[in-house]
Structure 1
Amino acid sequence: MVVSIFKNFNEVVENAKIIEVLNDIKTGKYINIITYLRKSLAESKMEAYERAKKSLPAFTPSASFKGGRKLEFVTAYTQIVVLDIDKLTKEQLTNAKALAQETPYTYSAFISPSGNGLKIFVKVNSSQKNHKEAFLTLQKFYEEFLSLPIDKSGKDVTRLCFVSYDTDLYLNENATVYPVIATEDLTPYIVQNSEVITEPPTIASNGFSTENFSNDYLATYEHCVRFTEKKESYVNGNRNNFVHLLACNLNRKGVPLPTAMGYILSDYNFDTKEVATTVNSAYSNTHEHNKSNLSISPNGEISKQSKSNKSSEEDTDEEEEKPSFIDRLETFLNYRYSFRYNVVSGKLEYKPAKATLWKPLTDFVENSILREILKAKVKCNINTLRNLLRSDFCEQFDPFKDYFDNLPDNEDDTDYITELANTITTTKQDLWIECFKKWFVAMVACVTNDKAINQTVIVFSGKQGVGKTTWIEKLIPKPLKDYMFSGTINPNNKDTLIHLAECMLINLDELENLNRTEIGTLKELITKTHIRMRKAYGHNNETLPRRASFAGSVNTAQFLNDTTGSRRFLCFEVEHIEYTHSIDINLAYAQAKQLYKDGFRYWFNQEEIKEINHNNEQYQARSPEEELLLTWFEIADRETANNFINTTQIATKLAEKTKMNITDGTVMKLGKALKKHGYLRLSKKNGYVYAVKELSWEEVDNKNKEKEPPPEPPKPPEQTGLPF
């Protein structure tokens, strides 16, 4: 049995054995485009779904053709009837497919391209002239057998069937041929069309004799049905309108009332009395009978009439609209490639049809694809190709969402995050474990939720060569290695600023070299929720979510030089790092994902912030003004204070002792230091003063000496026993 494969609905591409076509459906030849089509339908992207469906190859299971898809182009009838069942639930689809396999008449059954329908092929013993009768007989049989309605579209010999993808496609090459006509009546059909066969009248399911409607008008009726379906839908609440319009179209074509009544009651008998009334109403317009400007002969040929009176409703060509050049281009690309738009990197990725590895779409690849397109004589240029690829033709892909959605469930009670934290030994281990867990969960929140941000930075302090940078880099799982950046972020340089949206982790390897202004800028970036910018070669500004978390390492002990505060920095002095650990980072992220879903508090409260600030004191680089203040003025209360002076007076006294220049900046720094260290502030008539204990030169000298550790006395030599 040979069938024809079509493109653009009417252009024969090739003739192939139906076994080969079914094998392609089963083995996944069309898996890429079918997967895209079903995904578009599941996401209610109907425009993309319809466009993808139009680009599918299609074949005619009931016949092979040459030169077109009309009855006059039929070269051979396959004696196969197609039954189509649409809009099924998963349970209905599974049950229907299983039931269809139980009857010996089912030649093949597979899931439709949409994923919610079933195609059933049945072999019959009748000829092409009896195709409609064969379909109606099988429709009734399978509707009763499956308890499901079957689409009436299969009654056309020219009916297309789109290819699909179904690894469980059912095929029974030894299926029983359904006896549409009795065996003794088969002789006249051995040589088809050799003589006119007078068929005995049969009884339709509605009780009307089929001799009331001649097959001479079958092509006309089928054309009117297709034309009517473009205008109205035969659904609950609209069936009457559909039948009335169909009857009006048959009336204008000159189909006799008894014939039209028989056809319509055979296909659309939802209520015999109501249908008959509706058809009679349409045929009451006797002045429109046979006034259509199109004439359809019994063999399906359409010709113009020379009548001056035209129908009030113009007919359109019965064939499907030919796809536009953009549809042909999409079809070409879908056969050969899969494309996706990476929403994080903002770049296109592709893979050949049978490949598994996605690659970035470079200029070289674009030009190579364009070369293929032009060699296939598909109308296209480089701008058209680029505009198509940068549209909803490509599905969107979020690598972070893809990674975290595919993580295993955190089913055991193992605390992988704590185990990971314990691979580093710090001087304050308990605080480190607590801070790291919050920071780690915040990092997961930052890449999975556009409204969540990680407002802290992990900073390691320690000597070189212990593995600080290596340990930080191992925090990124292998599928996301491309989403890490090492370096500094310049807010005035959009090439580095874009890393805030494109990276999961930024390793600040030059943190200790930042000055006070740059530290302040970094703190601003850490709290930024979105980045508004125009990407390179882009035409419009975009608001991008901030996804990046920060970590860094320094070799010096004191690197925090911002006097306004340092709670954003989680600083820890490293004693040892086990950077070759074997902890599965994927399990740690699975735990973090579960903690985030369970509402884990990954931000710090006021008490925790105080503890962080206290811990950061050892990493804070003090200004000369702050150092001199703590040297010459001790904190005191009302009773122990020996002086009550304001900030400027303190600056004057320090200038007298150290010859320091007094500026507005000096006074401001002293004010911040007084507030930072909690000096008692009192309100007076002329402003505010501070209660301080001013020290003398001798007291300062003694205090400095007290802080120096006393030298250890020399150890006496060990006494050894005399040899005698």
Structure 2
Amino acid sequence: MKITLIRGDRESGKEALSTCEADAWMDRIKTETKEEHVTRLRTMLLYTTPDSEGHYEHIDKLPRIYPSVEYGRTRDGERRLKHYNGVVMLEVNNLAGLSEVELVKRQAALLPQTWAAFAGSSGRSVKIWVKFALPDGKLPVKEENIEAFHAHAYRMTVQCYQPILPFPVTLKAASPAQSCRMTLDTYPYFNPQAIPFCLEQPFGMPGEETFHQRQLTEKNPLLRLKPGYETSQTFTLLFETALGKALDEMEEWKRGDDLQQLLVCLAEHCFKAGIPEEEVVRQSINHYYRQTDEQTIRTTLRNLYRECKGFGKKKSLTPEQDTAFRLSEFMERRYEFRFNALTGDLEYRQRDSIHFYFQPVDQRVKNSVAIDALQEGIRVWDRDVNRYLSSNRVPLYNPVEDYLCNVGRWDGKDRIRALADLVPCNNPHWRELFYRWFLNMVAHWRGLDKLHSNSTSPLLVGAQGFRKSTYCRIILPPELRFGYTDSLDFKSKRDAELYLGRFMLINIDEFDQVSINQQGFLKHLLQKPVANLRKPYGSSIQEMRRYASFIGTSNQKDLLTDPSGSRRFICIEVTAPIDTNVTINYRQLYAQAMEAIVKGERYWFDDTDEAILRETNREFEQMSPVEQLFHCYFRSPEEGEEGEYLSPMQILEHLRSKNRDIKLTASNVNCFGRILRKNNLEYKRTCKGIVYRVEKL
């Protein structure tokens, strides 16, 4: 595994890039270079306070180390990503010296996933490198997948390492480009056989806690005072409240004064609030460890706790805090809430044995919740309930991601092509084209491609009663069928664009009813990767993620009217009624798609596929009257015929002599030029414009 070293020059703006093997770099940091830049930097830091803004003049001589990525150069000299190493770097900073550095390194070495741990260039920090991989042992390749994978890996690393480290991890933005300076460590910890953490490829960047994550989180059984709050959180909050009251009473006390006076007042408030003595000692040491030693704090608090009487008789919480905690406990005990990110609805269900399904939260439900809280003796107002339901206390829920995450492993049976086989047709390419479209639909549900959309759509053409619309509906599983619609109003462009983020499959029923004037907007919808809209009652324009894929049905065969081509549709003539009375194992159907996408199978249509589409769609293209008239009086020259080169205007002028209804407008001439191009006529560009080689009949 290669890591990248980049040395930059601030004055010239240039940078020198090199790579080396990780084990070779570990050997390099064991000894100092001739210039001894690391040693000089550490010497300077010994005589520099954090607020003095000191700067080491040769800091650029220490290259930056990038453990997560291997960079290269483009032809233009720009930096480019060559390979992702799957390494996450944690930093533990502000250490007192070598003894604490060694302690952190020993603790990090306890986990088998630790690939390396070494002292930072300042000598007062430790860098910990941890390895990650996908379940198949590989690593993501696409940059958007790398960003999401690394962000989730960083979170997981912090959660795993912080409990075993004696000092807090310095939290930083999770980026594969995170780096550190060249350093010196005579005895670094390096484990080439480190076992990587296994992490599934995430759907997107980590955000608010989701409903799925909330369900998997186990609560601490050691609850005190207010249900729903972990013991440590409760003690911390109570201590900070007591400390605030003590500081209010001692208005003139400031940090650096005699700590004894503050401890006396603080201990009284903590005793009355019911905080155990040892917890007060721990919190006090964390706050004032620089002003006195542990034994002085412990002795003072021990004497005060012996003198005071009435342990835990006086609450430290304000009435507002007490109401907030009671309401939070009540909500979590009685109800289960989630915010549906796809539909934009708040949903709930009661926590009992007879309510299984989530229902939308309306004003009637909110009023019922408020009354139930009042009946339990919680003094809340309607605004308190609304604040809770409109806060991050309610987790986000994405039904699409939740379903795809729980489909399980694929059993190896091809169900996607079997679903395509339900449609009787004579097109030999239908199975493969449907398979590619289905993968494309699932990939865009996962948000894998944010630059493109699933712009290709199947069109089922057949007689009435062939159950074409029913087939479109059964593509989605029952759990996601709320995301299906067959009523798309092209007259309301704003609503049509909102449908891109609201529905997962849109059926353009009776496709032949889409007018020529609406074809341009339909083409815009098919290729639009995101929708930038202002939501109702919103104040800003937001980017809305697209989920929608399209499918269509028609009873008429000549339905493609775009003269520029028909590569966006998979036109299939249904020759018999579709058998929709079948049992579909939807979880295995979508598990097959997920397996193919995770393994990197192509889900987009390439040039070969588009050539097949153009060829098979010819019989479904609608020939305009002008094009029909053209074929009556012109043709493409055959081999050996010279033909003549004419402009679209000259050809239209000739056709107009046969039919006076043809109008020679600019739009008609431009449209006719696209028709000639579609018929694969030979053309060339001259000083008079583009001319086409034709033979008159």
Task: Using structure 2 for the length normalisation, give the TM-score.
Answer: 0.57
Q: Which amino acid aligns with 1:436?
A: F
Q: Deviations over 1:272-326 (max 9, x none)?
A: xx99x94788899xxxx99xxx987735159xxxxxxxxxxxxxx8845662433
Paired position in structure 2 for 1:609: 610
In structure 2, how many angstroms separate the alpha carbons of the residues matched to 1:646 and 1:408? 61
Residues 637 and 646 (structure 1 numbering): CA distance in 2 closer, same or farther, change over 3 Å? farther
Deviation at 1:668, TM superposition (A): 2.1
In structure 2, how many angstroms separate the alpha carbons of the residues matched to 1:329 and 1:533? 35
Residues 601 and 224 (structure 1 numbering): CA distance in 2 closer, same or farther, change over 3 Å? closer
Deviation at 1:376, TM superposition (A): 4.3
Paired position in structure 2 for 1:668: 670
SS at match of 1:693: strand
Paired position in structure 1 for 2:309: 300
In structure 2, how many angstroms separate the alpha carbons of the residues matched to 1:685 and 1:229? 85
Residues 42 and 227 (structure 1 numbering): CA distance in 2 closer, same or farther, change over 3 Å? farther
Paired position in structure 1 for 2:481: 481
CA contact (8 A) 1:632 1:694 kept: yes
Task: Using structure 1 for the length normalisation, give the TM-score.
Answer: 0.55
Deviation at 1:609, TM superposition (A): 0.9
In structure 2, how many angstroms separate the alpha carbons of the residues matched to 1:225 and 1:538? 38
Paired position in structure 2 for 1:573: 573
Paired position in structure 2 for 1:356: 356
SS at match of 2:564: coil
Paired position in structure 2 for 1:443: 441
Q: Deviations over 1:603-657 (max 9, x none)?
A: 1112221210121111111112211112211101684134332222211211122
Paired position in structure 1 for 2:345: 347
Deviation at 1:409, TM superposition (A): 0.3
Paired position in structure 2 for 1:408: 408
In structure 1, how many angstroms separate the alpha carbons of the residues matched to 2:511 and 2:422? 23
Deviation at 1:497, TM superposition (A): 3.4
In structure 1, how many angstroms separate the alpha carbons of the residues matched to 2:266 and 2:342? 59
CA contact (8 A) 2:563 2:674 kept: yes
Q: RMSD across aligned C-alpha pairs, in angstroms?
A: 4.4
Residues 227 and 583 (structure 1 numbering): CA distance in 2 closer, same or farther, change over 3 Å? closer
Stretches of structure 1 that go unaligned for 5 or more consecutive residues are: 1-40, 46-112, 120-158, 166-222, 232-240, 255-262, 303-316, 696-724
Deviation at 1:468, TM superposition (A): 0.6
Residues 437 and 282 (structure 1 numbering): CA distance in 2 closer, same or farther, change over 3 Å? closer
CA contact (8 A) 2:652 2:664 kept: no
Paired position in structure 1 for 2:331: 333
* Percentage of identical aligned residues: 25
Paired position in structure 1 for 2:636: 635
Alignment of 1:150-165 (within 5 A): 160=224
In structure 1, how many angstroms separate the alpha carbons of the residues matched to 2:673 and 2:651? 10
Paired position in structure 2 for 1:656: 657
In structure 2, how many angstroms separate the alpha carbons of the residues matched to 1:682 and 1:675? 11
Deviation at 1:590, TM superposition (A): 0.9
Instruction: Give the total of aligned pairs.
Output: 449
Stretches of structure 2 that go unaligned for 5 or more consecutive residues are: 1-154, 160-215, 230-237, 247-254, 269-276
Deviation at 1:670, TM superposition (A): 2.5
In structure 2, how many angstroms separate the alpha carbons of the residues matched to 1:394 and 1:225? 26
Residues 590 and 283 (structure 1 numbering): CA distance in 2 closer, same or farther, change over 3 Å? closer
CA contact (8 A) 2:349 2:356 kept: yes
Alignment of 1:257-276 (within 5 A): none
Residues 490 and 282 (structure 1 numbering): CA distance in 2 closer, same or farther, change over 3 Å? same
Match 2:691 to one of 689, 698, 702: 689
For structure 1, which segment, 343-352 or 578-587, has the greater mean C-alpha deviation from structure 2 after superposition? Answer: 578-587
CA contact (8 A) 1:340 1:395 kept: yes
2:474 is aligned with 1:460: no
Deviation at 1:490, TM superposition (A): 2.9
In structure 2, how many angstroms separate the alpha carbons of the residues matched to 1:481 and 1:373? 35
Residues 418 and 385 (structure 1 numbering): CA distance in 2 closer, same or farther, change over 3 Å? same
SS at match of 2:506: strand
In structure 1, how many angstroms separate the alpha carbons of the residues matched to 2:239 and 2:671? 90
SS at match of 2:424: strand
Q: Which amino acid aligns with 1:333?
A: M
Alignment of 1:162-173 (within 5 A): none
Q: Deviations over 1:465-506 (max 9, x none)?
A: 011111111111011121111112437354443221121111
CA contact (8 A) 2:338 2:396 kept: yes
2:680 is aligned with 1:678: yes
Q: Which amino acid aligns with 1:443?
A: M
Deviation at 1:356, TM superposition (A): 2.7
Q: Deviations over 1:135-167 (max 9, x none)?
A: xxxxxxxxxxxxxxxxxxxxxxxx9477689xx
In structure 1, how many angstroms separate the alpha carbons of the residues matched to 2:564 and 2:298? 90
2:590 is aligned with 1:589: yes
2:429 is aligned with 1:427: no
In structure 1, how many angstroms separate the alpha carbons of the residues matched to 2:449 and 2:425? 32
Match 1:249 to one of 260, 263, 270: 263
CA contact (8 A) 1:472 1:551 kept: yes
In structure 2, how many angstroms separate the alpha carbons of the residues matched to 1:541 and 1:381? 33
CA contact (8 A) 1:224 1:249 kept: no
Residues 467 and 390 (structure 1 numbering): CA distance in 2 closer, same or farther, change over 3 Å? same
SS at match of 1:690: strand
